[in-house]
A = this chain, B = another copy of it.
Amino acid sequence: MAQLRRALVLDAARAAFFELGLEGASMREIAKRAGYTPGAIYSYFSSREEIYATLLGESLLRLNAHVAAAPGDGTPAERVRSKASAFFDFYRENPRDLDLGFYLFQGVRPSGLTRELDAPLNGQLRAALQPTAEALRDLGLDATAGEAEVTALFAHMVGLLVLIHTGRIRMFRQHAPQLLAQYLEQLTERLQRPGH
């Protein structure tokens, strides 16, 4: 019962956030959309931060599900491409989830929430990259090298996503997915080259 209503508030928060962005999704706005008075929200979430953290956690679950659903039965090189692309596409197709992902370290200063919730959320993010990391290891990389490679790949995807997100990509008249494909191509080729 309470769980249902909590979900209702969360729906309202998600909608508000997705429509109005961070600034617009105030407690007032969320309450209005949920059909509540602002005070009532606090029965379900103890602070604005908690709402956002919940939303972000949920978003990361969707991300992980999306990555898990990507084909994982080909060659290691194919799996690198498949899993990394799944990660990338999730955020490309759901730009608000990217906003959400950026939320905790962009807009949030005063809250003590960051510290407490940071660890599990980071864990969820790591988990979403895990399949890619495993595929890289199957290509022959050791733990250290795999870590470096997955970090570089993660950075590359984040950069592309930011460029898409901010519209800066048009500046270069390039398509981000194609750029990612090239990066992955070169990556797998490089790792399979003799002498590596």
The residues of A with any CB-CB pair to B shorter than 8 Å are: 21-24, 102, 105-107, 109, 122, 125-126, 147-148, 150-152, 154-160, 162-163, 165-169, 171-174, 176, 179, 182-183, 186, 190
Contacts and interface: CB of A to CB of B under 8 A. Distances in A.
Contacts of A152: 156, 179, 182-183
Given A155-B156, A159-B155, A168-B122, A148 B109 contact: no
Contacts of A107: 22-23
B166 A150 contact: no
B162 A147 contact: no
A151 B179 contact: yes
Contacts of A186: 186, 190
By DSSP majority rule, is chain A's interface helix, strand, loop, or mixed?
helix
Contacts of A122: 168, 171
Contacts of A24: 109
A176 B154 CA distance: 12
A122 B168 CA distance: 8
Nearest to A187: B186
A109 B162 contact: no
B125 A154 contact: no
B125 A151 contact: no
Nearest to A24: B109
B172 A163 contact: no
Nearest to A153: B159
Given A109-B24, A122-B168, A162-B162, A156 B156 contact: yes
Contacts of A157: 159
Contact of A172 (B23, B147, B166, B182): B147
Given A152-B182, A179-B152, A183-B152, A174 B159 contact: no
